[in-house]
Structure 1
Amino acid sequence: MKRYILLISALLATALTAAAQKPLYIVNGVETEEIASIPPEDIDNVESLPADEETIARYGEKASHGVILITLRYDEPAVFMGDTTFNDYIARQVKWDDDEPAARIVLRYTVTPEGNAVVTQELESTDNRLKRRVLKAVAEAPRWRPAHKDGTPIESDGVLHIQLPTGKRMPRPVELVWR
């Protein structure tokens, strides 16, 4: 039992030390805890500041492990004006019965300064019927509030990932093995 408590104490101390040693993240001038959800294509510039006296004087004790300054391509991200996420909205618009085979489509799209979503690249498509239906749903989707940089609407990019029917697993691809 004593060993168990010592092990838990050591793991907790290690976790707290690791958490305490992460740098201060500042995104577009705003301090933030989490940067993993920022799409790499949205990042315009990344600057790393050392944990020196000047950095700590400017940003405070939170900067004692350095500062990562991230500048995004926009000040405000694009926002889909539908009642849910863009992926969920498009999936709801596409008629795909549960008895149909599982299919997936992944598309890259651009939100124009006017707020239209325009498909720019097909990344994956396992069924042409699903592709046609998704492209139609994207063309008929409500407008977005476009991303803004310095008060001006700008283009931004996103990735649409649809797999239907929901919850049904994709079949494994056929593999030929020669012996």
Structure 2
Amino acid sequence: MKRYVLILCALFCAATLRAATPKPQPLYIVNGKETKEIRSIPPEDIEHVEMLPADEETIARYGQRAAHGVMLITLRYDQPAAFPADSTFGSYIARQVRWDASEPTARVVLRYKITPEGEIVVQQELESTDNRLKRRVLKAVAEAPRWQPAQKNGSPIESEGVLSIQLPEGRHLPRQIELVIR
């Protein structure tokens, strides 16, 4: 009986150690440059992903940092589009829209593209809880300054983004009430 308890205890301890030990991460190379994390890269900006195994050839090329493999990520651009204001695009648009604290909390989510000329073109309305806010956001987007477009091999290219505006800032949207009749 003691023997089985010791075996179970050893298995439990090994499983606990495996769960507590972080999984080794591969070396991330984005557009030819080593980077620590890739979670902030929008999936729509990724053109190609290649995973290299942790073999002798990979380690010889990238060094010991490649002991857990190498993930090569190629983005659709060499340099992302840049908004010329002193803040993010979402913050800029929120400041341009007049929405009093007495008005209801509302949200607008839009997908937009930035042309090679730096113009913003709204492609799709993903969510809109108030048509008044939507009209004001669309007007602010139309009047926003031009972007510096994304660059690929030194040439401007089209890129995309998602704009999410919820006003008044700091307030949450109320949950929708659902009535279920049985």
2:105 is aligned with 1:102:
yes
Matches of residues 19-168 of structure 1 in structure 2 within 5 Å? 21-168=24-171
Q: Tell me which residue corresponds to 2:175.
A: 172
Q: Mind listing any 5+ residue stretches in structure 1 that lack a counterpart?
A: 1-10
Q: Deviations over 1:54-110 (max 9, x none)?
A: 000000000000000000000000000011000000000000000100000000000
Q: Distance in 1 between matches of 2:152 and 2:105?
A: 40
2:47 is aligned with 1:18:
no
Question: 3-state DSSP class of the match of 2:151?
Answer: strand
Question: 3-state DSSP class of the match of 1:145?
Answer: coil
AA in 2 matched with 1:102? T
Question: 3-state DSSP class of the match of 1:148?
Answer: strand
Q: Distance in 2 between matches of 1:178 and 1:65?
A: 56
Q: Mind listing any 5+ residue stretches in structure 2 that lack a counterpart?
A: 1-15
- Cα deviation, residue 12, structure 1: 9.4
Q: Distance in 1 between matches of 2:125 and 2:69?
A: 40
Q: Distance in 1 between matches of 2:133 and 2:30?
A: 38
Question: 3-state DSSP class of the match of 1:18?
Answer: coil
Q: Tell me which residue corresponds to 1:4.
A: none
Q: CA RMSD in A?
A: 1.6
Paired residues, what number?
A: 168
AA in 2 matched with 1:143? R
Q: Deviations over 1:156-178 (max 9, x none)?
A: 00000000000111011121212
**Bigger Cα Rg:** 2
Question: 3-state DSSP class of the match of 2:145?
Answer: coil
Q: Distance in 1 between matches of 2:103 and 2:40?
A: 33
Question: 3-state DSSP class of the match of 1:173?
Answer: coil
TM-score (ref. length: structure 2) = 0.88
Identity %: 72
